[in-house]
Chains A and B, each alone.
Chain A
Amino acid sequence: MRRMSPKAVLPALLILLAVGLAACGDDSAGGGGLTAEDFKPVTAAPNDAKKGGTLTVVNSADVDYIDPGAGYYQITLAVNIATQRTLVGWPPDVDVAPVPDLADGPANISDDFKTITFKIKKGVKYNPPVNREIKAQDFKYAIERGMLPGVATGYHEAYLGTISGYKQALAAVEKNSSAAPNLSGITTPDDRTLVIKLDKPAAAQVVQALSLPIGAPVPEEYAKKFDAESPSTYGEHLVGTGPYMIQNDAEGNLTGYKPGKSISMVRNPNWDPSTDYRPAYVDRIEVAEGFTDVNSAVRKILTGSSQVNGDILPEPQGLKLAATKYPDQMSLVPGTGDRYIALNTQIPPFNDINVRKAVLAGFDREAVRLARGGPLAGDIPTHFLWPLIPGFEEAGGAKGPGFDFLASPQGNPKLAAEYFRKAGFKSGKYEGGEILQIAENAGVDKQVAEVARDEFAKLGFKVNLREFSSDTAYTKFCNVPKSNYNVCTNVGWIADFKDPQAALDVPFNGEAIVPTNNSNWPLLDVPAINKAMDKAKYVSDPKQRAEAWAKIDKTITAQAPAVPYNWDTQPSVWSSDVNAVMNLNNGMTDFAFTSLKK
């Protein structure tokens, strides 16, 4: 072997490393024949699970809001599962309807589905410094304060807008935005009884919504002064009833929450395990934030100890590493959502249904999914409702309703040409002007956008792909119909709970289209579909509900409003000394069920 002169060594070493790293990075084609089926989630702790230790949650960003009245991100819900018990909740293996948590037994729902009565558990106390026992009034206050502009629960009106007196309460807030309004539909005959009256038969939906952090009690006498400020500072003085609490001082100031840096959760001394289904094995949970390089963070978790991923979703490279080298330290929770490329159905060229069908028929959706991680990322959809959501099977299950334009995952050029000809393009390819495609400018989203652009180009489109930071892409383009985008690339939906309405209503109901913050990205506005949805919303019998929404799903799919390319699975990874338990509802690790091996 030729010796290298010393001065050549360093650059040579650098080049070698570059090549070596690049080699790790190529062929992102998933984990060599493995599919999501090979990584089914574990939803129970082992029988010999041990108590103690510190679990570290490796995160890239922060929670959206630490205040349960405002928090909504998946990671925020995961933190809340451990710190904020709600009226009803989701133990790890439950994924159809929430079970009682702070409620003492299932909700009593009236025959007209317009009245919900909860009994409140005894002996549940807030963490210090409040220390007192919870009562029914605390839930009423929690819901009412969500209407304050300084708290602003994002999903408030969408899920709780049917509560009687909602309009009056909104008007009250308009007048006085420093005190929570009285929501007259919620009454508390005594400390242990909470009655919620609705204007419409939406009880099932409201009960589900109360599993979100808005269903956690807030002590009014303590929170009032914080809520009088705008924005509310209750989040900096938070109390809760979970087995864990965010570290605080004697006055209740959170010392364990450093925005963008860390969240430290310790045991809540007032927590009584006999009232809770959570085993709460570990002594301490540390959310460490700021790990922005996904691949090295995943590697760190896999090779380290007592770590799990938080909001970091392993990208193709990390997925492959985990799947092939650490198969026991990874799971894929199915049924967490769907992903699609939205086509703006209101302006040319995609206002022509045949152009849309041609696109769906011709798109190589497998290529798009490959950018997300291939088969490990999930199955390629045949319709919009995704697995494990009631109605999925009724809508045709994995095989789907049988539309020809969604039959081939790799794309069917001949069929695409046929639809293009129907749309008046004799060449069998699109012949019109440029289309505006909006996408994110980083990470996997960017890669997906570029694959999609090539697919559009293949079909004859001239594409103007514009990439922005995620926030800008949404709040200035995709969520603003007036921006006249043609394609919004990386959209999709996750349901807040396993209900078909939660999966389809907002993203495809024409009445849900709003000038800003719009989430109906295809801008699909078909009166028949809108009407059917408004009716199906209040179908309360589970079986009928599933069937009604399955039908709606079919009519949506028939409209070809978007290119669905993935029924998501959510990947989780953990260190070898962790017994990770997945929460099927939230799709993430359940911190209150996860334990350490040593």
Chain B
Amino acid sequence: MSLLQVSDLQVRFETEDGTVKAVDGVSFEVDAGETLGIVGESGCGKSVANLTILGLTRGQNTTVSGSAMFEGEDLIATDTEQLQRVRGNEIAMIFQDPLSSLHPFYKVGAQLVEAITVHQDIGRDKARARAVELLELVGVPAPERRVDDYPHEFSGGMRQRAMIAMALANDPKLLIADEPTTALDVTTQAQILQLLERLQDELGMAVILVTHDLGVIAETADRVLVMYAGRIVEQGTLDEIFYDPQHPYTWGLLGSLTRLDRPRPERLPQIRGLPPSLLFPPEGCHFRPRCPHVHKQCEKVPPLESRLPEAPAHLDRCWLEPEKKRSLRVVEDRIGLEEPAA
């Protein structure tokens, strides 16, 4: 049985302009110890879906349906108090910008201690010792001293390590990392990803890695979800997504990926246009307005299903024939989304 099973998750925000369907029927599962990558442009619903699992999008103007079963409990249906016991304890979360995500007025140690004591009934001294231990675990040098520093006294990478330490405080079974490296420079990015991988190995937790960057996914994920405009458009193992991508949007993402093993192309192919407004998404396939291979059938919503008999777990939402896709996706000897004829 999987650790987390999300079924038909829908999240809607009522705004003054209308209803925003931020997440529109998303289902996936995460197994213990596994790393699931969720990739997509900003605004595609990947963060909202994960925040919703922890109830962090609950509010007057939010409607949530579907279920998120975690160890036999539906996190969508349960009350806030119960959720508070899960948050930071069994499921922990880290965020994109470690500076704004840490409280500027409290010492890093105090914020760690708070994370520990809220779930564990231990004294302040013990909690502090544990905080130092955690900082050491995530590779913060001189943790005994740094524990009394304020977040602004930490560098960007160190802050994210501190955030991770805070997330690990109570040995979570699942860590949701929402764009954990986006705000960091390239070298630090790699260090953080390695750290996450190492910790996952050591602690045996599952990780959901939410990112807009397929490069990050390539290094860490076991399985990948590609999301677009509130929906999952493709889902498969890392190899399936990278070597046999079925959805034109995935091709676009892959095409824009800077690959270190190849010479830099003359121009980075971009997906033309902008993601659709979630207030008034296009009928049928949401990717339709931006897709160079659009045809009549696209006006109906393609189901998320396997179209490859040899890979029943590789799902996608595109009406095109797999064979046709294989020829269409090759642009200048690599995978990409064909540039529209000018």
Q: In their complex, do chains A and B touch, with some C-beta pair under 8 Å?
A: no
| B interface residue numbers (CB < 8 A to A) | none
| A interface residue numbers (CB < 8 A to B) | none
